[in-house]
Structure 1
Amino acid sequence: MADTGNPLDDWVAQGRVFSYRGHQIRWWEAGAGEPLLLIHGFPSGSWDWHYIWQALAERYRVIALDMIGFAFSDKPRHYPYNLLDQADLQQALMSDLQVSDYHLLAHDYGDSVAQELLARHQQGPGFLRSVCFLNGGLFPETHHPVLLQKLLMSPIGALIGRRYSRERMARTFGAVFGPQTQPSEEELDAFWRMIEFNQGPRIMHLLIRYMADRRVHRDRWVSAMQQTRLPMRVIDGAVDPVSGAHMVERYRQLIPNPDTVLLPQIGHYPQVEAPEQVLEHYLAFRDQQANDTADTPA
């Protein structure tokens, strides 16, 4: 069962720090068992997982970091932010921890990082055990960016970022959450603290380049998803205007034997809006893998 979550101050206090390319990266670890790497989305951070963190830690060794440029990690002003580097960062942490193979649970921007890791896995040697995606732009052709994202990608992106405020953030988040599962003021406060820490709005126009990265790597990533024999599941908030039911429809068209779960009335942040449902469907996914393994002749 999902819990009441971790207040942001407690969450930050539990984090640790390691160095990547000369920058300080905050990361978290809990539990024991098979390693499970959680990869957060844009524009927030690993606190997004806090409602299901403890429940997952009761079954797995859960690991998460704030990617460079996000939340409580360093946010250098002059840095070549891109999705492949973020995948390098995830692998650097797992290497430091001497974790050779692991499961993935990703959301939003993190889905793209997970796609890159999957493509690397397919190229061999393999290091993943399963992949589960929450709402995210798995296919550029079905990604419907919000106005903020479009403006950040525009020539005035730097100005838009500097003028970004909690009020604007609240409007954007309200538009992508489900109508019955709107974020609370406390949740909005936490999201804003992650964004504005270390003057985060000043680099949002640099982080947003990931939307172009997705188009560049689309065919390689989709090919990896089509060819992999790894267990994959999508758990998706259906009413998300960015990557909701329309994205899942495309997934079912492109991916062989698609394993998808649509959550009615849930928006872009299912792990925040409906943590118990996400946990239920994720654990069922993992239990099915265990059953399939047990049924396979030696």
Structure 2
Amino acid sequence: MIIEAALALILALTFLVSSNNLSLVAGMAVGSRLLRPGVAMMIALTGYVIGLLAQGSEMKGYSVAPEGLLILSLIGVLVFTIGEVAKIPMSITNSLYMSWSALVLYNGGSLPVNFPIVLSSWFIIPILLALAAYLLYPSLVRLTASSNPIRRLSLYRLVMILTVFLVGFSFGANNLGLVWSMLGFSRIGLIGVIFASTLGVIITGRRTLGQFSRGMFTPPPVSSSVTQLLSFTALELSTVFAIPISLTLCTVGSLLGISMARGMRIINTQYLRLVLIGYVSTMIIAFTGALLIVKLI
């Protein structure tokens, strides 16, 4: 009974995270009017599945017992619910890692070996991405400014197709790979993650597709391209070292650098504050919540 309940809840979270992150994977391409929503959704979903199959097993070391998986799932649902009610972006990926760390601490008496590395990366990577975007964005603007407008538009569309796939790929490898790892890399777990992700994209993906771009900024094509490429790079490097990281964090870091390069004209600072509040809140709620639950039971 516990196994079935834990699996059902973790797949429900997979549904939610796949649907919500679609706005980060493909929302900017749709917001730039270079890809139609249906096309962008299918490209992103293809990236999800291929990334999970090709690199999901890189996220090693996060397997948990059914009882632990149930606690992680309950905390994830709590975090998501709080975010929805308070209208604050909360990271399910961070919730899963922090809850898992709390369980490791409770059962083994010490935090996971990679805990300092993961937390450091969560704060350092956005800064590095902001710096990279700040330096890269002006160069790309100058490089494309003199090209033929029609040819430039065609090039942007091709870049959008590529970057939507790449970010979808890295999301599948890292975030969905983390869920698969917690399921012990089982075959039924893999099938379940793919099925839940597909349903998340198809059923509610269109509703959430432009959510981020509407709240954060209006994405011109160069901004979208830089943001997507840097987010893909950060997620890929994190996957190689089995570090779970939120796609929201990567996107915000890149956008902040672009916004600084443009005189802070494209970013919604109020939304940025909400993202930061949600990020810190997720870590605190997930870690303390998991400790409280495991002690009570």
- TM-score bracket, normalised by the shorter chain, equals under 0.3
Under a length normalisation based on structure 1, what TM-score does the superposition of the two structures give?
0.26
Flag the structure with more relative contact order, 1 or 2, with Cα contacts below 8 A and sequence separation at least 6: 2
Structure showing the higher strand proportion among its residues = 1
- Report which of the two has the higher share of helix: 2
> Which has more radius of gyration?
2
